[in-house]
């Protein structure tokens, strides 16, 4: 199947007829895949199925309007669209359903995402960018309803940047901003906040976006009147319609079974967005969902007999077929012949995909059976191993876990034995598990190219003329250097532009670099992150500013489910090197003083999380990240902007290493590990402890994800034999994470003479003002007394009880 999704502009009737029949073939092929796919799930060959049946016709129209360089940010029913672009065929469809781990056979995610999740390859094998203007692009889907909307905003904004900002190299990424970002979403998912936040932002920003709403009048089992005001999303959003006086959206509405109207409406939407950079809402109504929401249930349970009959009569494929015959484009007999051939092709593709899916396991099974047989022949536990072997032989269609389970259980019966046969089985198991873990666990972070942890550290350089300045000046002047050095760099957020952020770390930079590169946004954290993801997917180097650390919780779903998983779920075929800038720690008041670090280090695996103690370190992290191409979160210390620091002479050049700790004070009695603003208190306490004869070693974690790749903390424990982790997160939060890293991963327990301990904030958030901070988070006296108590426990004679 090699479709040619050209538009109907300026083509002959014969060409238009060919296009129609080609579209019909794709629609029928897609429907047959959906029908057979459901049966494969119900037969147990696939885990779960969610399909695009009932949405075929509008997706064909969208494919006709979709041009090279355009991007899709869609949801899990767009299989017909991907088939129309030539990125999906029946065999790869079934490989996706079976979760084949071969990227050649299952190019969307190599089995990491369930079927129906689509993406194209933006990167070459070496991690460099492909020419995105020479291909039709799809950002990698996520399952979360409306989760695709925030990144859609950034994909569209990139066109605005490329069209309007001078000095940016556009090669591979844009043709003067002529690209449209196409979003797809089900009507019920428009109830999500992500949708409305994206919509509002796009209307304000006027970016080339087309949001296609597939409306089948249900959200799983719930009809649209329970989801949407007036029961119609286009009616509910009618106030956004642009007019001669005010910007807004162009709102278009079309029936999903009307082929010619769909073709013209999608072309119209494309032209408006592409030429005028006006966002478009395209509401596609009267669609159906013939097999219900998914394989988890039947829609007969919640739809009336009248509705089911209406859906049968108004199925878009059925109406398309009738229209083709009525207009003399083809005959009943010709279409039946085509349909029979397509069924045979899809059935053959399904069978071939299943055979290819099983083939590696069947080959591995043969080898394993032989190894088990050989191991059994030399073992006193022959009967038990033979039973495992026979059980494995009986599995005609083995999964990888079947082989792993049987082989690992067999090793239990070989305990204490030393035969060559046992060793061969052990090696097979080790290799099989290693390969499996790589197939399902690779590419959480960049594995090739200029990964951030490989960027060589460059220390800040000082001279006799280096002045002492407020920390925010170091940040400001470093950003100035970066924006000059990297024309694709831009920053945006609440109060980021005109006033230069709330702490003046960007003071004056909007005037110098323009309102598009140093930009203000509305109060909308989720789509600030979405802007960054979308623009990073299109080759720009965005810095998304979240005003305070607490506010990052508004955007945590987008960060966690989209940005942090992007490289993993595409097996290294897409990247979004977004830097998220925020500030926090040692704040006062419940809503500006949270320290959700434990949550962040767990929810954002796949990103770097960096917590510099001062602005010099922070600037160095920005410099390092701009030399690499991975996403990261940098948390600046809020109370450090006005503290004095020496200004380095090599701003924009020095690099703080990622994945390394820094020892700030050597000591011999106890290791104190902390980070960020709390670290300054720890440093002061370390000097006070000297007065009572305690020599503490102070280590700045600074890089939380990844943490201490060179295991320097355990080297400290070899000297001090004691460990205290100090952190202003809640109990069991980031301090527990650091403790596991040091005691378990680095095997620090081997060198401890005292129980390793943590000192954290209380479980509640601080009340307002300094007294709230003092009694809620670790203060100098808390740290002093905790350290002293550890020393008292180990040597009460030298360190008598304090209180």
Kindly list the catalytic residues.
Answer: 592
Does residue 659 contact residue 706 with C-beta atoms inside 8 Å? yes
Q: What totals of helices (H) and strands (E) does the chain contain, helices first?
A: 26, 22
User: Strands 579-584, 541-545: parallel, antiparallel or unpaired by DSSP?
Assistant: parallel
> Going along 37-82, which residue ranges are E strands?
71-73
**Residue 320 burial class via C-beta count within 10 angstroms: exposed 0-12, middle 13-18, buried 19 and up:** buried
Angle formed by the axes of helices 525-537 and 149-164, nearest 10°: 60
Two structure tokens written together for 172: 């591979």
* Region at 698 (left for phi over 0; alpha for psi -120 to 50; beta for the rest): beta
Kindly list the distances between the CA atom of residue 282 and the CA atoms of 102, 114, 253, 288, in Å, as whole numbers in the listed order. Answer: 36, 27, 6, 17
Which residue, among 5, 18, 167, has the nearest Cα to 70 in the 3D structure? 5
Residues in the chain: 803
Where does 87-167 have alpha helices with state H?
Answer: 90-98, 149-164
Q: Please give the backbone phi and psi of residue 645, each rounded to the nearest 5 degrees, phi first.
A: -140, 150
- Listing DSSP states for 173-210 in one string gives T-STT---EEEEEETGGGGSHHHHHHHHHHHHHT--EE
Residue 629 DSSP class: -
Q: How far apart are the C-alpha atoms of 553 and 223, rounded to whole Å?
A: 31
Two structure tokens written together for 266: 């999608």
Kindly list the distances between the CA atom of residue 99 and the CA atoms of 51, 65, 107, in Å, as whole numbers in the listed order. Answer: 15, 31, 11
* Region at 213 (left for phi over 0; alpha for psi -120 to 50; beta for the rest): beta
Residue with tokens 């680095």: 746
Two structure tokens written together for 645: 């620091």
- Cβ partners under 8 Å of residue 405, min gap 6: none
User: Strands 218-219, 222-223: parallel, antiparallel or unpaired by DSSP?
Assistant: antiparallel
Does residue 209 contact residue 280 with C-beta atoms inside 8 Å? yes
Q: How far apart are the C-alpha atoms of 607 and 555, rounded to whole Å?
A: 14
| Strand ordering across the sheet containing 703-705 | 518-520, 489-493, 541-545, 579-584, 632-637, 608-610, 703-705
Q: How far apart are the C-alpha atoms of 45 and 58, rounded to whole Å?
A: 30
Q: How far apart are the C-alpha atoms of 604 and 707, rounded to whole Å?
A: 14
Q: How far apart are the C-alpha atoms of 197 and 147, rounded to whole Å?
A: 11
Omega cis (within 30) before 706: yes
> Going along 333-471, which residue ranges are E strands?
468-470
* Region at 613 (left for phi over 0; alpha for psi -120 to 50; beta for the rest): alpha
Residue 72 DSSP class: E
């Amino acid at each position: 199947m090699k479709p040619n999704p050209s538009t109907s502009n300026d083509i002959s009737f014969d060409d238009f007829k060919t296009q129609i029949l080609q579209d019909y073939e794709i629609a029928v092929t897609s429907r047959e895949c959906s029908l057979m796919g459901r049966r494969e799930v119900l037969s147990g060959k696939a885990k779960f199925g969610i399909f695009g049946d009932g949405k075929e016709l509008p997706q064909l129209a969208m494919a006709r309007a979709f041009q090279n360089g355009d991007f899709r940010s869609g949801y899990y029913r767009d299989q017909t669209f991907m088939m129309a672009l030539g990125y999906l065929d029946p065999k790869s469809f079934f490989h996706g359903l079976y979760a084949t781990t071969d990227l050649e056979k299952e190019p969307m995610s190599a089995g990491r995402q369930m079927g129906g999740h689509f993406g194209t390859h933006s990167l070459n094998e070496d991690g460099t960018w492909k020419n995105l203007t020479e291909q039709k692009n799809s950002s990698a889907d996520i399952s979360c309803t409306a989760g695709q909307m925030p990144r859609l905003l950034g994909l569209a904004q990139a066109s605005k940047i490329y069209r309007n900002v001078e000095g940016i190299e556009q090669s591979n990424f844009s043709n003067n901003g002529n690209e449209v970002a196409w979003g797809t979403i089900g009507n019920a998912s428009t109830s999500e906040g992500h949708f409305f936040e994206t919509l509002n932002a796009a209307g304000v920003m006027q970016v080339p976006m087309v949001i296609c709403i597939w409306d089948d009048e249900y959200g799983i089992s719930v009809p649209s009147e329970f989801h949407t005001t007036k029961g119609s999303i286009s009616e509910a959003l009618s106030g956004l319609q642009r007019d001669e006086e005010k910007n807004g959206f162009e709102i278009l509405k079309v029936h999903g079974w009307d082929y010619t109207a769909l073709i013209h409406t999608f072309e119209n939407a494309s032209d408006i967005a592409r030429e005028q950079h006006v966002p478009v809402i395209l509401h596609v109504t009267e669609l159906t969902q013939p097999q219900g929401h998914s394989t988890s249930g039947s829609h007969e349970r919640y739809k009336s007999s009248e509705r089911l009959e209406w859906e049968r009569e108004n199925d878009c494929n059925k109406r398309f077929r009738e229209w083709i015959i009525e207009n003399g484009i083809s005959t009943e007999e010709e279409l039946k012949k085509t349909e029979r051939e397509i069924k045979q092709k899809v059935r053959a593709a399904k069978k071939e995909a299943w055979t290819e899916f099983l083939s590696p396991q069947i080959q591995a099974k043969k080898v394993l059976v032989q190894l088990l047989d050989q191991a059994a022949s030399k073992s006193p536990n022959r009967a038990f191993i033979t039973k495992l072997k026979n059980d494995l032989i009986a599995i005609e269609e083995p999964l990888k876990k079947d082989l792993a389970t049987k082989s690992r259980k067999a090793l239990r019966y070989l305990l204490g034995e030393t035969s060559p046969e046992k060793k061969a089985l052990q090696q097979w198991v080790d290799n099989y598990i290693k390969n499996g873990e790589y197939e399902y666990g690779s590419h959480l972070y960049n594995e090739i190219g200029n990964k951030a942890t490989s960027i060589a550290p460059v220390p800040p350089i000082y001279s006799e003329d280096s002045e002492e300045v407020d920390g925010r000046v170091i940040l400001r002047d470093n950003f100035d250097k970066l924006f000059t050095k990297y024309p694709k760099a831009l920053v945006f957020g609440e109060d980021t532009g005109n006033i230069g952020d709330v702490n003046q770390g960007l003071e004056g930079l909007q005037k110098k670099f323009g309102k598009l590169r140093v930009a203000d946004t509305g109060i909308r954290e989720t789509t600030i992150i979405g802007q960054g993801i979308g623009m990073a997917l299109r080759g720009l180097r965005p810095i998304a500013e979240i005003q305070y650390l607490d506010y990052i919780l508004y955007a945590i779903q987008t960060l966690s489910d989209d940005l942090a998983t992007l490289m993993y779920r595409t097996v290294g075929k897409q990247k979004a090197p977004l830097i998220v800038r925020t500030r926090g720690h040692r704040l006062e008041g419940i809503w500006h003083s949270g320290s959700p670090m434990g949550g962040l280090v767990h929810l954002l695996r796949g990103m770097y999380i960096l917590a510099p103690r001062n602005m010099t370190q922070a600037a160095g992290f920005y410099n390092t990240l701009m030399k690499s191409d991975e996403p990261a979160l940098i948390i600046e210390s809020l109370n450090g902007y006005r503290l004095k620091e020496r200004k380095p002479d090599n701003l924009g050049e020095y690099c703080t290493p990622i994945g390394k700790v820094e020892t700030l004070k050597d000591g011999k009695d106890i290791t104190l590990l902390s980070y960020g603003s709390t670290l300054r208190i720890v440093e002061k306490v370390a000097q006070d402890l000297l007065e009572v004869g305690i020599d503490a070693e102070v280590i700045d974690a600074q890089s939380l994800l990844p943490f201490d790749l060179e295991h320097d903390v355990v080297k400290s424990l070899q000297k001090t034999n004691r460990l205290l982790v100090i952190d202003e997160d809640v109990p069991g939060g980031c301090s527990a994470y650091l403790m596991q890293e040091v005691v378990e991963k680095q095997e620090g327990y081997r060198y401890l003479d005292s129980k390793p301990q943590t000192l954290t904030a209380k479980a509640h958030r601080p009340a307002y003002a300094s007294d709230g901070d003092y009694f809620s988070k670790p203060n100098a006296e808390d740290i002093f007394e905790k350290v002293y108590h550890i020393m008292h426990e180990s040597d009460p004679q030298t360190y008598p009880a304090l209180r």
